[in-house]
Chain A
Amino acid sequence: MARLKLEDVQLAQGGRRVLEHLTGSFPDGAITALIGANGAGKSTLIQAIMGLLPPVAGRITCSVPRERRAWLPQQLALDLSFPMSVEELVMTGTWPSHGALAGYCAPHYRKARQIMMRLGISHLAHRPLGELSGGQRQRALLGRTLMQEAELLLLDEPFANVDSETVEVLTDVLRDMADQGTTIIVVLHDLEQLGRLAGCVLLLAGGRGHWSTPQAILERYGKPQGVQTSLPPLDLRGATP
């Protein structure tokens, strides 16, 4: 049985109905891409899955305990001028399971070092977040979710404003996490990433959800210019011609 199931879910934001009759389950140990035009309800759905926005009708069943649900927001949503180093940010990933009061112990630090090594940010461990590039920050943020040992990971446009090397690293790490059984949902704008990363697609359009596969989406929308005019409003930023 899938960890995360939607049953006839209806979501509203500020009194406006955003999504309705959303049914289906997110496959475990796989990466599901969430795509759709701006305002189609991607962020609303993510909020609902995180338990921050109760559905108006229907049910969201999630068997993953809270401390194993991780959420990687868009960088813009974070105050990155906050005086905190990369290592400190990664270590915050222990709080949900370890408690915010307990001290860190040696195994935590070891694990944080391994994670930073894997993400290629070991040399930045003591740098303040404010001095990092977009890509380096994104790696540090992913480090936090690795530290959290997430079983359900939600990412909101993780590849926006990051360098190509970071995209490689992030893709590798996300694939590994999925292979180890993590359920990953990632909001994507970039169809190029879709083909490389996702195993499953949930397309939000017109207030409904349509389950699909990356191949089908790419065949329909990923083709060069000309086709775009006849499409439902789907943001094709970054799609390769």
Chain B
Amino acid sequence: MIETLEALLLTPLTDYGFMRRALVAGLALSLAVPSLGVFLMLRGMSLMGDAMAHAILPGVALGFLLAGISLPAMSLGGVLSGLVVAGLAGGVSQMTGHREDSAMASFYLISLAAGVLLVSLGGSSVDLTHVLFGSILAVDSGALLLIATVCSVTVLLLALMFRALVVECLDPLFLRGQGVRHGLIHGLFLGLVVLNLTAGFQTLGTLMAVGLMMLPATAARFWSKRLEGLIGLAVLIAMLASTGGLLLSYHFGLPSGPCIILLAGIAYLFSALCGRHHSLLARLRRTATPPESSAEEDQSTSQEGTT
């Protein structure tokens, strides 16, 4: 029994260096990316991550065309094109007064088309698949270093701007009233999103990287009502999905990105069905046992509080 478990869980890691590197990369991403996802979700920008992932494509493709499969070139290109799209969308929405999501949708579609065109100009469909869906085989030490650096910077920066982010989600005018420039925090945050999506594309691919960002966050929402709880749980789910997904892809010869994301997706579906808050099960349970009237309780305790 123990031997089978060992063969299933440990041997791939002890025997193959690329599996170890992929695991470390996955865990590092799982530490940073889901926290960004939690904030995206709370800001009502769940689809923004997806748009940004498409936006980095032409940069990645351009890097690929100029330097081949070179992680620094592709990453740099990705970050630049992501920032350009985010900047343009923000600028246009501020200038015209239109909502940012419409500008973002327009620019990311342009960006996506340009990216696909660039890839098909210079490479085969195999290359396109690689860029879109990633490959764990591609994670070498250099890539690992890049991912680890991006994730560390993200965690540190998030800690620094945590309160500002929280206030901006809740009451943006409070922050503006205090003289924090409109869009500063928002811009920094989007910059981090772009950076992390670029870091994730090597293992997961540009499109799949968003999955590790959003799914753990949306799943965690069914379990916790506190921000710290949401972030902690999302990170945990992401780590489990990364590890499990890698092992699945190893044993069954499947692509790693979709495996990881599908596991996170299963976590989301399970949470939606059985989670503690707002899930199907929680709803059924509530209709079965009507809650005691909490309003009356509040009334009496509030009077105690005032006296």
Contacts and interface: CB of A to CB of B under 8 A. Distances in A.
A92 B163 contact: yes
Contacts, number: 86
A73 B172 CA distance: 10
Nearest to A82: B170
Interface in A72-89: 73, 77-80, 82-85, 89
Contact of A120 (B97, B174, B226, B302): B302
A52 B173 contact: yes
Contact of A66 (B171, B178, B225, B298): B178
A110 interface: no
Contacts of B304: 123
A123 B306 CA distance: 10
Contacts of A96: 178
Contact of B173 (A67, A71, A84, A130): A71
A135 to B, nearest CB: 10
A200 to B, nearest CB: 23
Q: For chain A, what secondary structure do more than half of its interface residues adopt (helix, strand, loop), or is it mixed?
A: mixed
A118 to B, nearest CB: 8
Nearest to B228: A83
B226 A83 contact: yes
B230 A83 contact: yes
Contacts of A66: 177-179
B160 interface: yes
A122 B306 CA distance: 9
Contact of B171 (A52, A69, A73, A165): A73
B254 interface: no
Contacts of A116: 305
Interface string B266-291: 00000000000000000000000000
B169 A79 contact: yes
Residues of A in contact with B, size category = 35 or more
Interface string A98-127: 001100000000000000110011111000
A83 B302 contact: no
List 5 tightest A-B contacts by C-beta distance, closest first: A120-B306, A123-B301, A100-B163, A122-B305, A82-B170
Interface of B: 42, 44, 97, 160-161, 163-164, 166-167, 169-171, 173-174, 176-179, 224-227, 229-230, 295, 298, 301-306
Given A122-B305, A133-B295, 16 more contacts: A14-B97, A51-B177, A52-B177, A71-B174, A82-B42, A82-B170, A83-B226, A83-B227, A83-B229, A85-B226, A96-B178, A120-B303, A120-B306, A121-B302, A121-B305, A128-B225
7 contacts: A50-B176, A71-B174, A77-B173, A79-B44, A95-B163, A130-B225, A169-B306
